[in-house]
Structure 1
Amino acid sequence: KETDAALARVWQITPGPADQPNLVWAGTEPSALWRSEDRGVSFTLNQGLWDHPHRKEWQPGGGGQALHTILPHPEDSRQMHVAMSTGGVYRTSDDGASWNPANKGIQGSFLPADEFPEYGQCVHKVARHPDRPDQLFAQNHGGVYRSDDGGDSWISIAQGLPGDFGFNMVAHPHAAETVYVIPLVADMQRFPPEARIRVYRSTDAGHSWEESSTGLPSHPFYATVMRDGMCADDSPTTGIYFGTRSGSVFASADEGESWSEIAAHLPDVLCVRAGTVSPQPGSGPGSRPAAQGS
């Protein structure tokens, strides 16, 4: 089906499961979900989301009206969650034929007509642990939330953080209740509270938070960490990484206990991904993943 829309940019690329190596998903601006079954050579538009009756009411966030998060269900290929700014979280249980909003309990303070709307929230990132597919964590434009029922309802888990604005939300790949965020000052300043860069970690699904700043700069810090600028690797002792719009990349080899700067003076770092590198013969007993920023 043809449309009169023009593709502005691709915001997210998500691979399919290991048993479907040719499957690739893409999220774009304007908000659309695309599927490739040939490793990205060609893509098909998901018509169910594109033709959604809510579309005319989805408004652009500061960076555009985009679908930036794609979460295929790890156990049921017919299920998926997506998130967009603005629009909120949507889910499908019929392989994308139909989509329903999943935002109950998420505040939309910038929508004065309805403080808790069915849809239209400006969600910045959603994450989950593969062993708990119904437990979701969300960082919104004003709000940090958890859902324990696949998005049927959400509760605030912002208490204990210095602010509820930010862009990233990263789930620990091995510890199901551990997540990481970097709070920022809203709305247009978008640097850390008190100009101190700190990572906050919860090991109990957001019931409490602890600050992690050992090794991070102690001088005033006025850079932003974007929604895909933070990630975790899958090593047994998980490494955590984040990059900043001032061109630095920081890494923790001990799950966020301490940090070091591993790159500096780069252009804007908008995305950081880490992949495990197998050690070469004679290089030692172990290896750390290589982080790549873009």
Structure 2
Amino acid sequence: MRALVLGLLLLLASCAPSSGILAGGAWESTGLQREHIRTLVANAADPAQLYAGDAHDGIFASSDSGQHWLPRNQGLPLPLAVNALSFDASERRLYAATSRGVFVSSDGGGHWQAVNQGLPADSCTALAIDVEHASVLYIGTAHHGVFVSSDGGEHWRAASRGLPANLPINDLAYVSDQGQLWAATVGGVYRSDNGGQSWRSLSQGLPAGITIYRVRPAALSGGDPNLVFAGSDQGIFLSHNNGASWQRNKEGLARVSVRAILIDFRSPTTIYLGTSIGVLRSNDSGQVWSAVIGGDLPKDRQVYALTLGASDYSQLYAAVDDVYIFPGSSGGWNTNAFVPLLLAVAFFALLYWLTRSNRRHRRGLLGAARPTAGPSDQPPTQQEEQEPELPSTLLPRRQEGPPPPDQR
């Protein structure tokens, strides 16, 4: 019985969902149907405040963890595509990189102001901010490389030395404590170690002709300073030597397009990917991936952006045109959580049955081993134990009349 109990406990442990706030539930739409959301950001000062950038209709905002959304476009020249959103280090100013330049809001998206002095007439495709210096910003463009501002966007200057001419920039990431600026491009991965004054290619191990959509150093979220992720049109690539070389993920995601990478800052070994087949999650720094499935999230559609938000960052948000939330408020059936629950019920039912059966068996053995005490339920005396009572059929027949005379 002990072996059975141990086996059941091990089975329950192996089938239990991952621990943490994102361990179970189902995806649910947040109500931005018929939109084309391409970027998401949560306000670190209040994670229930979310902002979504659309490919045509500007910016939408939610103050209740995505339950309701309202457009926040005053000052934006619609139509325009919003390609990146980010708060500065003070968490007071929200910047938007758009198809018509850079805009900033100091009132949570209520009003927007253009900050484009020094920028070319080009689509701004990427945005990175120095978290240690709120006024230092980097912008990537579709045809003119990278630009930097040291005064919160009031003035911009080119920072593209070493980048190929007209190279489209898809993403930027700045690691403040290392002073490294990373760029994801249609020609691979580039890095600048001096604030954009010079760049060098870091594409060893990447296939020829690859397009890199996202680059995310783990150090950006407090992880391994040598680990970097690159999402591409040919899957996910990892570098364990700070970009010196790259390896494809061993699970083989070569046919998957990866446009979003989210590193959980609370547990930097937990990584989320937004892909052409949905959302994937790894709990071991990208070695093994599993799908975050269930609910309304469309299958086989590109996930463009991911972010954590809501109270205590308890929910995951994904942009698949509409914005989806995991776990949704309505919950829903989750087989990953239901199977362990069913096993737990079966385990305790079996344990109860075995316990009762064992007790009945022991009572039967004790009853067979101990003679009946009689009506008075008194234990037998020493004499009775030495001379057990014979059945009545074996006792000598009692004679009537006086006793026989003495034969002596």
TM-score calculated relative to the size of structure 2:
0.53
Deviation at 1:146, TM superposition (A): 1.1
1:271 alignment partner in structure 2: 305
**Structure 1 position 95 matched with structure 2 position 129:** no
Among residues 93, 96, 103, which one is paired with 1:26 in the alignment? 96
Gaps of 5+ in 1: 59-65, 109-119, 185-191, 279-287
Moved over 4 A (4+): 3-6, 275-278
CA drift of 1:162 comes to: 2.4
One-letter identity of the residue aligned with 2:180: Q
Deviation of 1:154 (Å):
0.7
Of 51, 71, 83, 1:11 maps to: 83
Confirm whether residue 239 of structure 1 aligns to residue 285 of structure 2.
no
Q: For residues 306 and 136 of structure 2, what CA distance do their matches in structure 1 show? A: 26
How many Å apart are 1:77 and its aligned residue?
Answer: 2.4
The residue identity in structure 2 corresponding to 1:225 is V
* Equivalence for 1:262: 292
Letter aligned with residue 43 of structure 1: W
Aligned equivalents of 1:131, 1:276: Cα separation in 2: 28
Q: CA deviation at 1:253?
A: 1.3
Match of 1:127 in 2: 173
Q: 2:130 aligns with which of 73, 90, 101?
A: 73
CA distance in 1 between counterparts of 2:265 and 2:306 reads 14
Displacement of 1:10 after TM fit? 1.7
Tell me the CA shift for residue 272 of structure 1: 1.6
Preserved CA contact (<8 Å) 2:308 2:315: yes
CA distance in 1, matches of 2:303, 2:285: 21
Matches within 5 A, 1:18-167: 20-30=90-100, 32-49=101-118, 52=119, 54-55=120-121, 58=122, 66-108=123-165, 120-132=166-178, 134-163=179-208, 164-167=210-213
Paired position in structure 2 for 1:225: 258
Q: CA RMSD in A?
A: 2.7
- TM-score, with normalisation over the residues of structure 1? 0.72
CA displacement, residues 52-82 of structure 1 (integer Å, 9 cap, x when unaligned): 4x43xx4xxxxxxx32322222222232111
Identity %: 24
CA contact (8 A) 1:233 1:275 kept: no
How far apart are residue 169 of structure 1 and its match? 0.9
Change (3 A) 1:21 1:147: closer
Q: By percentage of residues, which structure has more helix?
A: 2
> Alignment length, in residue pairs?
237
Q: Which has the larger radius of gyration?
A: 2
CA pair 289-88 structure 1, distance change in 2 beyond 3 A: farther
Tell whether the 8 Å contact from 2:102 to 2:115 is kept in structure 1 after alignment. Answer: yes
Q: 2:214·2:231 contact (CA, 8 Å) conserved in 1?
A: yes
Structure 2 residue identity aligned to 1:182 = G
1:188 is aligned to none
Q: Contact between 1:7 and 1:29, CA under 8 Å: does it hold in 2?
A: no
Residue 290 of structure 1: how far off its partner (Å): 3.9
1:106 counterpart letter in structure 2: L
